[in-house]
Amino acid sequence: MCLAVPTKIETIEGNRGTGVLAGNRITILLDLVPEVKVDDWVLMHAGFAITVLTPEDAKATLDILSEML
Amino acid sequence: MTRQTNTAIRQQCDRIDQLCRQALELSGSAGPLGIMEVCGTHTMCIARSGLSGLLSDNLKLISGPGCPVCVTDQSYIDRALHLAMECEPRPIIATYGDMVRVPGSGGSLAEARASGARVEVVYSADQAVEIALANGDTEVVFLAVGFETTAPGAALAVLRAHNENVPNFSIMTAQKLILPAMEALLSQEDVRIDGFLCPGHVSVIIGWKAYASVAAKYARPCVVAGFDAPQVLASVEAILAQLASGRTESASVYPSVSAEGNARALELLDEVFVASEASWRGLGAIPESGMELREAFGRFDAAVRFGLPDFPSREIPGCRCGDVICGRLHPTGCGLFGSRCTPRRAVGPCMVSSEGACAAAYKYGPHDRGPRQ
């Protein structure tokens, strides 16, 4: 339940964004990151983006996750 | 963050060993020092990477109450089962997948579902609201379990139900706050905790400065880490460097965490919830360690809506999860571990949860040589 996954925001409509996670298109709720823009990376936890990441931090986290999962 | 070679990790372990000796000398106490992590993902990382075995005998890494499923009191599971099986007409129980297999006194939600209960696994609290909107004639109850990371999602779900006037949605809350639990852990006389390896994603919400009060009041360094071995080692080294120089502060080695946290999320938590006493498995009732709905949102409280009875906090016979969660016992010290209790047929929540200390010890076995008491 603690796990959060980096995802790149591809579209934004209202408080909802879309991105791709493990090959699937997913909806990401953006209420907690009002500053987010298309093409930003976010850390997604339980359906919600909880922070905006730098591309470098997103890649580093994805590398760790690919080792874990 | 760069991937470290085995040599670099060994060199870091040597530095940690040196710092341990300096810290022990400064404190004038006998070892080993104890550093507790309070995050299920850290538990898994430490077990998977075998870090405990690489570190000095002067240092113990101890798993604490970091897995939200594990810390959820038995009385909550029993209440959820009552809601699923005894309330008529039967509501839809919307829950994160981790909770489905956790055994209560009368079975698990998975078993309840096999007996006809309506249990839906959701990946976000908002999805539970969607289910309520799509099933207007049926009550939908979201099991709001977890720490500060998941609580903003539950708060937003309640706000959405409030704003869109969704009459058939409610939540059964067991949201937890990590700081009061850390304070309760420090009051245990039989577990030595010299510093805390603080959770990464809880800290994204609350910020690393949130631990400053614990660091100052109890003189224990609190350092936030990310989720791989180099991050955990960096945090351990930072904690020991503080102890070796007589400092106790809050800090972070995880770049995704800011000092202040997520302001919007904290605002939402304050708008929807108020701190209240909560029951923790192993730790018992801790004042102001839970999150209760504010009066303005009371109509979304499933306990009130369904008139749910209180259930006693029963221990599962033979199960030592409570001691494991508090750091009093290594999983392998439990009489059920690996025999009656395995990931396939789990007795206690620490074996059920993929982030539980028992599941970690079972999966990664001899690598994880934690404290055996």
Q: For A7-54, how does the pLDDT look when each residue is reduced to its tens digit (9 = 90+)?
A: 999 999 999 999 998 888 999 999 999 999 999 999 999 999 999 999
Note whether residue B338 is domain-resident. no
Q: What is the CATH number of the domain that holds B130?
A: 3.40.50.11740
- Domain with B87 in it: 70-176+262-305
- Candidates A1, A48, A57: best to mutate against B (most CBs of B within 10 A) is A1
Q: Which residues of B touch A46 (CB under 8 A)?
A: 96, 123-125, 146, 149-150, 153
Note whether residue B118 is domain-resident. yes
Give the residue on B whose Cα is nearest the Cα of A61. B227
Contact B253, B240 (CB under 8 A): no
Question: Distance between CA B362 and CA B373 in Å, rounded?
Answer: 17
Q: Is B30 exposed, middle or buried (0-12, 13-18, 19+ CB in 10 A)?
A: exposed
Determine, for residues A2 and B355 on separate chains, whether the beta-carbon distance falls below 8 Å. yes
Of A50, A67, A68, the CB nearest to B149: A50
- Spell out the per-residue pLDDT of chain B, length 373, in tens: 445 567 888 888 899 999 999 999 999 988 899 999 999 889 999 998 888 888 888 999 999 998 888 999 999 999 999 999 999 999 999 999 989 999 888 889 999 999 999 999 999 999 999 999 999 999 999 999 999 999 999 999 999 999 999 999 999 999 999 999 999 999 998 999 999 999 999 999 999 999 999 999 999 999 999 988 889 999 999 999 999 999 999 999 999 899 999 999 999 999 999 999 999 999 999 999 999 999 999 999 999 999 999 999 888 889 999 999 999 999 999 999 999 999 988 999 999 998 899 999 999 986 444 444 4
Determine, for residues B205 and A53 on separate chains, whether the beta-carbon distance falls below 8 Å. no
Tally of domains in chain B:
1
Determine, for residues A2 and B228 on separate chains, whether the beta-carbon distance falls below 8 Å. no
* Residue B168 DSSP class: T
Determine, for residues B204 and A43 on separate chains, whether the beta-carbon distance falls below 8 Å. yes
Q: ω before B32 within 30° of 0 (cis)?
A: yes
* N- to C-terminal Cα separation, chain A: 14
- Domain with A60 in it: 5-68
Note whether residue B119 is domain-resident. yes
Exposure string of B144-175, with b = 16+ CB inside 10 Å and e = fewer, is bbbbbbbbbbbbbbbbbbeeeebebbbbbbbb
Note whether residue B321 is domain-resident. no
Tally of domains in chain A:
1
Note whether residue B313 is domain-resident. no
The answer to whether B198 faces chain A, any CB pair under 8 Å, is no
Note whether residue B126 is domain-resident. yes
Note whether residue B106 is domain-resident. yes
- Judged by CB atoms within 8 Å, which residues 124-183 of B form the interface with A? 124-127, 145-147, 149-150, 152-153, 156
Note whether residue B299 is domain-resident. yes
Alpha helices in chain B (DSSP H): 6-27, 40-49, 51-54, 68-71, 74-86, 109-114, 125-134, 151-163, 178-186, 200-206, 212-217, 229-244, 263-272, 302-305, 321-325, 349-352, 357-364
